[in-house]
Structure 1
Amino acid sequence: MANEDSREAEKLNIKTKIRNHLMERRNEAKVIRKIVGIIALILILIAGGTALGGYIYIKSALKPVNPENNKQIKVEVPIGSSTTSIGMLLEKKGIIKNSTVFKYYVKLNNISGFQAGNYALTPSMTLDEITQTIQTGKLVREALFKMTIPEGLWLDQIAEIIAKKLDVPVADVTKKMTDDETLKRLMAKYPSLLTDDILQKQIQQPLEGYFFPATYPFYEEKPSIESVLDMMLNQTQVVIAKYAETMEEKNMSTHELLTMASLVEKEATEKADRHLISSVFYNRIKNKMPLQTDPTVAYALGKHLDRTLYEDLEVDSPYNTYKNQGLPPGPIANAGEASIEAALNPEKSDYLYFLAEYGTGDVYYAKTLDEHNELKAKHITNKRKESTGGNKENE
């Protein structure tokens, strides 16, 4: 009997332990659920608070820095400035609250066409007012003078324009464009633009073709020659940067691009399709034919030719594309953006020849030499005979 009582007590004790264990597990589970719930709530509050804080901050950054402050602050936007650099400049000057917000505001609103110059901006201006002001180019002061560098110029012609505008000897400008010290400084400042390609032994002028054609404003009476060169090279770098991805895809260097663009520039007339001219050059290279473009002969001779004669074609120079296949060692002139873009994206064609009609500038293309000669006789030889009363000139 005693044994039975003992067994019953033991069973009861086991049941009690199990019940107590289960209760402990339930309590632990409740505590864990509470902790998880609290943590989740905290995370939700943090995320919500962060999102709300971010929303409030961005909303604030889109508003004027100080609606009551109409004090004008002079801000100079350099030529070739990016949206990021403009935003950082405006933030530093206290015109906007945050340059990153400014950058995305410009991007999301598809705003572009910012113009370099000096502006009078205030902390009370909205982002819309600021961007419109920089787009329209309302300057605080007018440029003291402007210098226009046309397309298709040789380095010596650009030097003459600079010398005249700065009222300095041409020799001083030419020296700055060619001396080793200047080249070293400029190559260090523009390493992606001015590579060792410009120092090849066959290059006649290292910086030939690298000064971008444009109208440059100046706000000081006597800018230095160095600052003028910097301004033009910077603009070239800005333009070339637009095509960096395509250049990489086509494995084309800046030097090669500017060289091809210079040929297109010198051969193109107002009526010419630069993309077709570009295609002719590429097609001839592909077919292992010399480019045979007259402007390279003139450059090799170092003189501007009204007409290229047979005797001129004999000049012994790596720039003479009648004697040498492929591109010349470097650019033969400065090319505008239209020619740069065409050199990078030629039209698809089978043309191997082109010519411009004498007197009109109309351009005709041919796939064979026979077709080209027929066009030449019709649009050049006969036209010249007519203009000279039937006297035959050297072709």
Structure 2
Amino acid sequence: MLLQNTLLPEMLVGVTAGCCAPRWLPRRGRRFYNRAHMKRSLVLTAGVALVVLLVLVLGAAGAYMVIQNQLYRPLEGTGEIGEAPESPDDAPPEMILEILPGQGLRTVSRSMVAAGLARNARLVEWYGRYRGFQTRLQAGRYQVSSRQSPAEILARIVAGDALFEEITVTIPEGWSLDDIASHLQYIGLFEAEQFREAVVMQESYRDFDFLGPLEDDTILDGYLFPETYRLFPESTPESLIRRMLVTFGRRVSPELRSEIDRQGRTLHEVLTLASIVQKESAGAPEMPDVAGVFWHRLRIGMRLESDATVNYVLGTNRRQPTFADTAVEHPYNTYRNAGLPPGPIGNPGMDAIMAAIYPSDTEYLFFLHKHDYEIVLSRTFAEHLAAKARYLD
């Protein structure tokens, strides 16, 4: 009885510990016990590792199947990859997928999901990035259907396998509304009057916050950003105008617009002056000086007396308008009227806009261009007359 009471705790300790033989076993027995236990542990560890490996393999296989099904199989149809429908009646209707210039993989993948051409936008985007498609997407209109796999559709977009040819339209810096309208009619895209009628402030443009202060029917000259645009033959004047406004909002950023507010000016005022600077300058390097002269004149209450505004009124392009030209009564004639004209006289480029926002801090009030277009700045009217006699007369 005493032996049993003494050995029982040791037996229990050995059994519950599970990592070594019970101490009540003889030494030889404990040695065999430990070897057997170690073998069982190794077998158990190997079994667990095998199960984990199997789970990983099955998971990878499952992920591969998901990717295979969602990227390389059409959304409609359960046959083999690329399998054609049994008859034309079985094929889903084709649709037009439009990719606009500047759209990235994320936008394109979401458009594909929205059109019923893919299931998972993130997976399509990931695949495109893996293939290096993010900088190779080509704008255009693509005739596609859900019988084509997402991978196949992306490959077509990268290859530029578009349905229709695009029309490239370049709007030079400084062009006015009339210049743009005439050019669009000349290349056969729109009637000039069609475009003129669309380039007025209306409710459909109110989603552009920078147009908020403009009243209805205000002509949008100054906001039609000069750039090269790629259009489809069936594009409308409104679609081109919206493209121009989107580009304007991206280039004349919220940060720049905040800087204009900080200076106590309005965007419309800055664009109006920038359009004059665009016409009066012989090149970008001198634009800050020209802008500085005009802002200085406005600051002291002096008329701008810009030849460019006279040419705008008369529809001419004279280097030096006559006295009779400058005497014409018109709101845009800055020889006759103080302050800025009612609005821009054209659509300035980024250099002119930046010059109007960040002009030179100058005391000059006059400037002219020599015959080689080098600018000459003067502080007084007497200096200006002397420069004119020296370089132009």
Counterpart of 2:233?
221
Correspondence for 1:150: 172
The structure 2 residue matched to 1:189, chosen from 200, 207, 220, is 207
The corresponding residue for 2:28 is: none
Aligned equivalent of 1:372, options 362, 377, 384: 384
Residue identity opposite 1:156 in structure 2: D
Q: C-alpha offsets along residues 274-304 of structure 1, whole Å, 9 cap, x if unaligned?
A: 1111111111111211111111112233444
CA distance in structure 1 between the partners assigned to 2:362 and 2:249 by the alignment: 30
Question: Residue in 1 aligned with 2:300?
Answer: 287
Structure 1 contact 274–339 (Cα < 8 Å) conserved: yes
Say if 1:318 and 1:324, in contact at 8 Å, map to a contact too. yes
Note the alpha carbon deviations across 1:333-357, whole angstroms, 9 max, x for none: 1100111111101112221111111
8 Å Cα contact 2:279-2:308 kept in structure 1: yes
Task: Give the CA deviation at 1:124.
Answer: 2.3
**1:246-288 CA distances to partner (integer Å, 9 max, x unpaired)?**
1222132221121011011011113751111111111111121
Match of 2:129 in 1: 126
Shift of 1:165: 3.0
Encode CA deviations 1:119-148: one digit per residue, 9 max, x unaligned.
xx7642436935444699967257522001
Query: Residue 139 and residue 158 in structure 1: after superposition, are their counterparts in 2 closer, same or farther (change >3 A)?
Result: farther
How large is the RMSD of aligned CA atoms in angstroms? 3.6
Describe the shift of the 1:87–1:291 C-alpha distance in structure 2 as closer, same or farther (beyond 3 A).
Answer: same
Counterpart of 1:260 in structure 2 is 273
Aligned residues: 285
2:184 is aligned to: 162
Q: Which amino acid aligns with 2:282?
A: T
CA contact (8 A) 1:260 1:343 kept: yes
TM-score, reference length from structure 1? 0.62
Give 5+ residue unaligned stretches, structure 1: 1-63, 100-120, 200-204, 382-395
Please name the residue that 1:353 is paired with: 366
- Give per-residue Cα distances to partners, 1:157-214, cap 9 Å, x unaligned: 1101122234443233223335xxxx32344232422532575xxxxx7222221111
What are the ranges of 5 or more consecutive residues in structure 2 without an aligned counterpart? 1-63, 76-95, 140-156
3-state SS of 2:127 partner: coil
Name the amino acid aligned to 1:147: V
Give the aligned partner of residue 387 of structure 1: none
CA distance in 1: counterparts of 2:216 and 2:379, whole angstroms: 34
TM-score, length-scaled by structure 2: 0.62
Question: Does structure 2 conserve the Cα–Cα contact (< 8 Å) formed by 1:152 and 1:335?
Answer: yes
1:177 maps to 199
Q: What amino acid is the match of 2:210?
A: S
CA contact (8 A) 1:152 1:333 kept: yes
Structure with bigger gyration radius:
2
Question: 1:364, 1:346 → 2: CA distance?
Answer: 17
In 2, the alpha carbon distance for the partners of 1:320 and 1:187 equals 29
1:75-120: CA deviation from partner (whole Å, max 9, x where unpaired): 8664576x8xx74654565799898xxxxxxxxxxxxxxxxxxxxx
Residues of 2 paired with 1:348 and 1:139: CA distance?
Answer: 51
SS of residue paired to 1:316: coil
SS of the residue 1:207 aligns to: coil
| Separation of aligned partners in 2, 1:277 and 1:67 | 62
CA distance in 2, matches of 1:198, 1:373: 44
Whichever residue aligns with residue 129 of structure 2, its letter is T
